[in-house]
Chain A
Amino acid sequence: MIPTIESGIPGFDELTVSEISEGGIPKKSTTLIYGPPKTGKSIFCNQFTYHGLLKQEPCLYLTTDQSLKQLQSNMMEFQWLIMNYIQNQTLYVIDGISQLSGAKLGETNNIKSSSVANSSDMMVKMGIGTRSVYKKSNHFRSVLDSLNTLIAFNPDQMVIRVLKAYLRRIREAGGSGIIAYTEGVADLETENILKSLFDNIIRLDGENIHFEFLSEEDDQLYNFESTYTITDKGLVIGKK
């Protein structure tokens, strides 16, 4: 059996049960979550993050589309309160976008400001962040939401390089990472390269969720599919 972690998305862990897995997200793996705009990718990521926090798994969160302030208020709408986790430092946030609005972010031990336009700074901060959450627990989660703004601010090649460095760090430290990306934002070629970098792929199209993972155990590709809805509790799988 491959070790997994609970996704936090009602129905997801049940959906992904197989001969080699009890369901959930494979531990120490990287997952790309993609689909058209407004299909619930960020909600999925936030749910995954919050569930980990509830289970005392620290999280490294890179937010590049929304400022930390917007992230907090978006999570609040689902009653996912992250303030406490910021205070007790189990949630480590790298805010890559606030600088753009001219807002000054008060940096602390676990709140760092970077800029999507400065990829080397992002990489340095990612390194420091990974080390910091790793020290707390080698059983941690990491979210990058999303690649879109990075793509708007940097050449595709650069984004891929940053992403590779990030994924390597997460893997080496033993974390489980989820990265969000909106379909169609980059060229098809880049999109294909992106997909090839991950262990697992989740696609959301507004109605259906598709999960695909390559098992290292038997080298087989496992596929799962179901419907989903977005409720005031977040994403819920398999209910119409």
Chain B
Amino acid sequence: MIPCIESGIPGFDDLTKSESGMGGIPENSSTLVYGPPKTGKTIFSNQFAYQGLINDEPCLYIITDQGIKQLEAMMFDFHRPINKFIEDKTLYIIDTTSDISEGKPQQNGNIVYSYINNPTDIMVKVGSGVQCVYSNNPRFRSVLDSSTTLLAYNENMLILRVLKAYLMRISETGGSPIITYTEDSADKKVETMLKTMVDNIVRLDGKELTVEAMKGIGKRSSPYQITDEGLIL
């Protein structure tokens, strides 16, 4: 039996049910969510993060595409308010964008800022972030949304190494990480490498969600919609 955690996406856990697993995302495994732009990758990640939070699984969230305010607003729009989790410190956010656009926001224990063009600094903060969420609960989640921006601002191979280190760090401590990536935003080589680094691969194309790889199950897919409750299969 492969132990799984709830994905938070209605229909996803049913889709991934098998003889050896109860459906969901296999515990302590890493997932790549990719697809063309605007297909719901961020929404998928947010639902995953939120489901963890309401299940008492803390989350380390690294945002590179939007600032913390936008993240909060977006989650709120989908009826998933996160301010409570920021307050009780189960949600740990590394924001790599706000500094650039909004001047100097306030830094507190579980909200830290980094720079998109400084992967070393991001890794240092991931290190302390992991320690913090891990001490809360060794069963935690992590989201990196998205790798595309990191790739755009830095040398590709460097980012692949950073992502590998990130995935190793989360996996070794018992967490389940998700990385998002916009298809064709970098070299095909990068995409292949990303796929080899993760355990599970989920592709969103706007209409269909395809589980291209996952422990214990073969390829599966289902149509999906984005509603005001988020992604629904």
Contact = CB atoms under 8 A, between A and B. Distances in A.
Given A149-B164, A152-B161, A184-B189, A77 B215 contact: yes
B127 interface: yes
Contacts of A65: 196-197
B226 interface: no
Interface size class of B (residues with CB under 8 A): 20 to 34
A55 B19 CA distance: 30
Contacts, number: 69
B201 A185 contact: no
Contacts of A230: 218
Nearest to A183: B192
A88 interface: no
B84 interface: no
Most buried by A among B161, B164, B171, B195: B164
Interface in A39-80: 65, 67, 69-70, 77
Interface string B150-170: 000000010011001100110
A135 interface: no
A30 interface: no
A12 B124 CA distance: 47
Query: Which of A65, A146, A152, A182 has the most chain B CB within a 10 Å cutoff?
Result: A152
A236 to B, nearest CB: 13
B168 A185 contact: no
B74 interface: no
B227 to A, nearest CB: 30
B201 A152 contact: no
B18 to A, nearest CB: 10
A161 interface: no
B201 A102 contact: no
Interface string A121-162: 000000000000000000000000010110011000000000
B67 to A, nearest CB: 29
Contact of B168 (A97, A148, A186, A187): A97
B122 to A, nearest CB: 15
Determine the interface band of chain A, counting residues with CB < 8 A from chain B.
20 to 34
B226 to A, nearest CB: 26
Interface in A96-113: 97-98, 100-103
Contact of A100 (B168, B193, B215): B168
A101 B170 CA distance: 8
A184 B196 CA distance: 10
Nearest to B26: A77
A37 B196 CA distance: 5
A182 B165 contact: no
Given A101-B172, A146-B196, A153-B161, 7 more contacts: A38-B212, A101-B169, A103-B172, A152-B193, A185-B193, A186-B189, A187-B189
21 contacts: A38-B201, A65-B196, A67-B172, A69-B172, A70-B171, A77-B215, A97-B168, A100-B164, A100-B165, A100-B169, A101-B165, A102-B127, A146-B196, A148-B193, A148-B196, A148-B197, A153-B161, A182-B196, A185-B192, A185-B196, A186-B189
Kindly list the 4 A-B residue pairs having the minimum CB-CB distance in the complex, ordered from nearest: A101-B168, A38-B213, A37-B195, A184-B192
